[in-house]
């Protein structure tokens, strides 16, 4: 919900600016440090990782190819589960807030996925696992499935003839679309709370060609590696939900209204932001109140770009005193939220013993 609010606020902010003066502004992309999606309590310092999932099997086959793929996919799911858990383990092991990150073997099993209608592990079982392994919380790969759809079509392919010349011959092309779905949970046994739950869906497409369907199937050589790499990446991505992330945000600044704003636009296009800001600051004392508001707004943008959020907020408040527009009000709300989010993100980075290349003023 928090992420959706931030996204909606940013969209409305951009629309208001565009409606206010479409041709009088120019867009620029900034980097914003967003708080972690998952904020663990400071008391959680020992982590256990378990696997609730199991490889699924298929019993009905339309043809020989599906039967071969089913056998391959069953092993691929087992290896994919290991890769996903490995990705999570490696990411959590880097986080200095945790004294312990432990892989735990259990007998729990979930083959139904995630969601409100799917049962989680009983809290007695979660607490028993935590107590037995001396951990504070459980990260669980709750669900993993790799399902492959097959399509085959006729296609001309190249082959060498007796004279080693390449010629076109009748052949087949097979396409395998492997959907990798895996779901993750974080259990807090002592507060009996599922702290987080998330599902990843990724698709790997592989193709092969041959004179017949079986040759085309065996021509595919990179599918296994691609699935394992993607599985490991999802595990790593889930671990990164504990850390603040840099996100691109779009801002607009005024480029019309006076000769100095036009000149500053050219300087900004040359990446000479300091010189552009010097011209904007001169216009903040202009006798025209709307022009002063634009210049103050641009100074707010310039300071936000440089990580000086409180100074940016001061400037946009000055802009509002000259012109109480919806755009100024929206930008003020954006900056207030960014100040709050940045403080939270820096605290999270400090807890993880990571440094932020950010000057906060």
What is the structure's pLDDT at 109? 60
In the chain, alpha helices (H): 2-20, 64-93, 123-133, 213-218, 223-240, 259-269, 273-283, 289-305, 309-322, 326-351
What is the C-alpha to C-alpha distance for residues 128 and 149, in angstroms, rounded to an integer? 40
Q: Whole-angstrom Cα distance, residue 148 to residue 179?
A: 6
Could you give the CA distance from residue 21 to residue 298 in angstroms, rounded to a whole number? Answer: 14
* 350 confidence band (pLDDT: 50, 70, 90): confident
pLDDT at 134 > cutoff 80: yes
CA distance 343 to 356: 11
Tell me what pLDDT residue 156 has: 82
Contact (CB, 8 A) for 158 and 221: no
**Pairing between β-strand 46-51 and β-strand 100-103 as defined by DSSP bridges:** parallel
Can you tell me whether residue 332 is helix, strand or coil? helix
Q: Identify the band that residue 56 occupies on the pLDDT scale cut at 50, 70 and 90.
A: low
For the segment 147-205, what is each residue's pLDDT rounded down to a tens digit? 888 888 888 877 776 767 777 888 889 999 999 999 999 999 999 999 999 999 999 99
- pLDDT confidence of residue 358: 40
Tell me which residue of 306, 303, 13, 307 sits closest to 316, measured CA to CA.
303
Q: Answer for the pair 258, 283: CB distance below 8 angstroms, yes or no.
A: yes
CATH class belonging to 2-36+245-351: mainly alpha
Delimiting residues of CATH 3.40.50 domain(s) in the chain: 46-240
pLDDT at residue 289 is higher than 50: yes
**C-alpha neighbours within 13 Å on the C-beta side of residue 228:** 11
Please provide the DSSP assignment of 96-137 as one string: TT-SEEEE--------S-SSTTS----HHHHHHHHHHHT-SE
- Give pairs for 314-320: CB < 8 Å, separation 24+: 318/284, 319/292, 319/293, 319/294, 320/293
Q: What is the pLDDT of residue 360?
A: 39
**What is the structure's pLDDT at 285?**
95
Say how far apart CA 82 and CA 197 lie, in whole Å: 19
CATH 1.25.40.10, the chain: domain bounds: 2-36+245-351
The reply to whether the predicted model has a pTM over 0.85 is: no
pLDDT tens digits, 293-349: 999 999 999 999 999 999 999 999 999 999 999 999 999 999 999 999 999 999 888
Instruction: Enumerate residues 6+ apart whose C-beta is below 8 A from 71.
Output: none
Of the two residues 15 and 153, the one the predictor is more confident about is 153
CATH 3.30.450 fits 46-240, yes or no: no
Alpha carbons 33 and 358: distance in angstroms, whole number: 9
């Amino acid at each position: 919900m928090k992420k959706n609010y931030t996204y909606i606020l940013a969209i409305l902010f951009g629309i208001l600016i565009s409606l206010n003066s479409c041709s009088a502004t120019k867009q620029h992309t900034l980097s914003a440090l967003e708080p972690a999606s998952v904020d663990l309590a400071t008391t959680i310092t020992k982590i256990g990782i378990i696997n609730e999932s199991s490889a699924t099997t298929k019993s009905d086959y339309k043809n020989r190819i599906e039967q071969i793929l089913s056998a391959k996919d069953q092993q691929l799911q087992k290896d994919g589960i290991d890769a996903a858990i490995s990705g999570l383990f490696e990411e959590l092991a880097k986080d200095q807030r945790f004294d312990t990150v432990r892989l735990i073997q259990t007998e729990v099993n979930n083959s139904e996925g995630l969601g409100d209608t799917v049962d989680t592990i009983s809290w007695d079982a979660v607490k028993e696992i935590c107590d037995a392994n001396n951990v504070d919380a459980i990260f669980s790969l709750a669900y993993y499935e790799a399902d492959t759809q097959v399509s085959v079509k006729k296609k001309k392919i190249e082959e060498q003839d007796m004279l080693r010349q390449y010629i076109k011959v009748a052949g087949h092309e097979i396409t395998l679309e492997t959907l990798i779905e895996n779901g993750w949970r974080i259990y807090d046994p002592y507060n009996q709370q599922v702290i987080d739950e998330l599902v990843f869906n990724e698709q790997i497409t592989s193709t092969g060609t041959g004179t017949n369907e079986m040759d085309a199937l065996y021509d595919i050589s990179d599918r296994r590696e691609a699935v394992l790499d993607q599985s490991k990446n999802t595990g790593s991505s889930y671990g990164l939900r504990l850390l603040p992330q840099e996100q691109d945000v779009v801002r607009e600044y005024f480029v019309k209204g006076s000769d100095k704003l036009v000149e500053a636009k050219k300087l900004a296009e040359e990446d000479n932001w300091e010189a552009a800001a010097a011209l904007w600051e001169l216009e903040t004392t202009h006798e025209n109140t709307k022009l002063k508001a634009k210049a103050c707004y641009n100074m707010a943008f310039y300071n936000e770009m440089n990580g000086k959020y409180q100074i940016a907020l001061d400037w946009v408040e000055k802009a509002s005193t000259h012109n109480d527009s919806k755009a100024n009000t929206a930008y003020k709300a954006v900056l207030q939220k960014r100040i709050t989010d940045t403080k939270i993100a820096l605290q999270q980075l400090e807890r993880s013993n990571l440094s932020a290349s950010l000057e906060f003023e």
